[in-house]
């Protein structure tokens, strides 16, 4: 079952974020979720009584197109539930949400080391389109 995130899911999301390499606590997730804008949307996949995965998405207006662009910001499935179609179900649910929002173009970034994720997105119809660049300003704070 795919449904919108509720605050009771915070501990599960903390675990899923940690699995991605972004350590978080339940309290961290509560603070972060509160800070997100109304244009952000988070869906969770539930297997039995447990949150098995989540996808975080946002629809944003952009300078270069008349229609908003959809961004997949995070997608994680618990290792215990991988290979069962949960990631695909989350991706389909996100795409359905984007369609309802008038989004015609979806973008996703994936780290160079996440080769399995790259294959997943390619098999789901996503094409590699370029490079992603990053600069940390953390040392300035």
The domain limits of the chain are: 2-126
Residue 30 parent element (H or E): helix 26-35
Rounded to 5 degrees, what are φ and ψ at 110?
-145, 130
Rounded to 5 degrees, what are φ and ψ at 24?
-155, 150
- Domain 2-126 is in which class? alpha beta
User: How crowded is the C-beta side of 124, counted as CA atoms within 13 Å?
Assistant: 21
For the chain, give the number of residues. 141
Query: Taking Cα atoms as reference points, which of 39, 40, 45 lies closest to residue 13?
Result: 45
Tens digits of pLDDT across the chain (141 residues): 999 999 999 999 999 999 888 999 999 999 999 999 888 999 999 999 899 999 999 999 999 989 999 999 999 999 999 999 999 999 999 999 999 999 999 988 876 677 777 787 788 888 888 777 878 898 877
């Amino acid at each position: 079952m795919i449904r919108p995130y509720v605050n009771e899911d915070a501990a599960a999301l903390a675990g899923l974020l940690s699995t991605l390499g972004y350590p978080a606590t339940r309290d961290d997730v509560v603070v972060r979720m509160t800070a997100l804008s109304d244009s952000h949307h988070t869906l969770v996949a539930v297997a039995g009584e447990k949150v098995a995965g989540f996808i975080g998405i946002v629809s944003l207006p952009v300078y270069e197109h008349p229609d908003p662009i959809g961004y997949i910001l995070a997608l994680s499935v618990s290792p215990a539930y991988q290979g069962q179609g949960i990631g695909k179900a989350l991706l389909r649910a996100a795409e359905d949400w984007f369609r309802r929002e008038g989004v015609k173009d979806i973008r996703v970034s994936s780290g160079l080391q996440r080769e399995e994720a790259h294959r997943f997105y390619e098999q789901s119809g996503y094409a590699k389109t370029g490079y992603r660049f990053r600069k940390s300003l953390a040392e300035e704070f």
